[in-house]
Amino acid sequence: MRATSYDAFSTDNSTLTTGELPDPTVGPGNVLVEVKAAGVNPVDWKIMTGDLTGLLDAVFPVVPGWDVAGVVRAVGPDTPEFSEGDEVYAYARKEVVRGGTFAELVAVPAESLALKPKSLDFTEAGAVPLAGLTALKALQRTDISPDGSGRTVLIHGGSGGVGSFGVQIAVAAGARVIATASEPNHEYLRELGAEPVTYGDGLADRVRELAPGGVDAVTDFVGGVVDTTLAVLAPGGKHVSIADPTVVEHGGEWLWVRPNAAGLTELAELADAGRLTVEIAGTYPLDQVGAAFDASRSSRTRGKLVIIP
């Protein structure tokens, strides 16, 4: 199979190569998926640069990529829940980083897989798993999902890959959503159902103007905003960050999401009900994974980047 891999940690894309690798082994409880689309997440290039050494084991050569949408081509023993030809998607993280989704084929544990949303094409579905599950779990931990009626949530980074899912999930749950973004993305946030505010100096005052009594929950998808979070959080409110582990020192929770087929099914139901849409910022072939990483590093993309093998 064709795949993009690297054989050493590097702070740039110099070690990325595209070529032929053996097809994955499909063991018990695993499913072989023909990759139609694979979302790009910051964790993909952070692993390559060695930033997560000590947290995740890597075996070289590493094929990066944790998001996938595709078609089941084979199932291993003891995998009755899937059949050849099923259209599926997954957050395909494994215990050891090696055989990822930036390839033509990937073996995925069955418990990480769910049926693809019918309303999304493969490119859109491939962009959902990690970011969508992260947003869903963060809102669950702050008691906004599945029922946020009558509650107000502040989402730091509302126009990003995770934040845009968070806005839609919170709105679908009935919450009032205030979300930060640069001014060019304010109209986009309004379209998703949020009240936009500009990030930066004076953010706490701007949020307080919209919610004088404070907000019930805060989800931080950007980092470096704990002071603002604490300044606007109402008594008894909950806050979660995926980007700043110091929140635990202030009564918050630092979140690292697990693969979760039930969560993917919930996201698929939202999408098929017209409550969850996907903004695609760009698509790249396997031999341009480095360019996709550069775009992700820039932090200037709105929506998701996707690899199309």
Judge if 106 and 164 occupy the same domain. no
Beta strands 105-109 and 96-99 are: unpaired
Would you say residue 301 lies in a domain? yes
Whole-number percent of the chain with pLDDT over 90: 96
Total count of domains within the chain: 2
Q: Which amino acid is at 177?
A: V
pLDDT at 56 over 80: yes
Quickly state the pLDDT bin for 187 (edges 50, 70, 90).
very high
Would you say residue 266 lies in a domain? no
Judge if 108 and 10 occupy the same domain. yes
Using CA atoms, how far residue 75 sits from 28, 100, 263, 273, 299, in Å, is: 8, 17, 22, 30, 38
Q: What is the mean pLDDT of residues 129-137?
A: 98
For residue 187, the enclosing domain spans 131-254
pLDDT tens for 86-105 read 999 999 999 999 999 999 99
Would you say residue 81 lies in a domain? yes
Judge if 146 and 241 occupy the same domain. yes
Judge if 23 and 82 occupy the same domain. yes
Quickly state the pLDDT bin for 300 (edges 50, 70, 90).
confident
| Cα distance between residue 238 and residue 10, in whole Å | 37
Judge if 231 and 150 occupy the same domain. yes
Q: What is the mean pLDDT of the chain?
A: 97
Quickly state the pLDDT bin for 54 (edges 50, 70, 90).
confident
Q: What is the mean pLDDT of residues 112-119?
A: 98
pLDDT at 17 over 90: yes
Judge if 104 and 201 occupy the same domain. no
Would you say residue 272 lies in a domain? no
Reference 253, options 141, 152, 132; nearest CA is 141
CATH number, domain containing residue 184: 3.90.180.10
Q: Return the pLDDT at 141.
A: 97
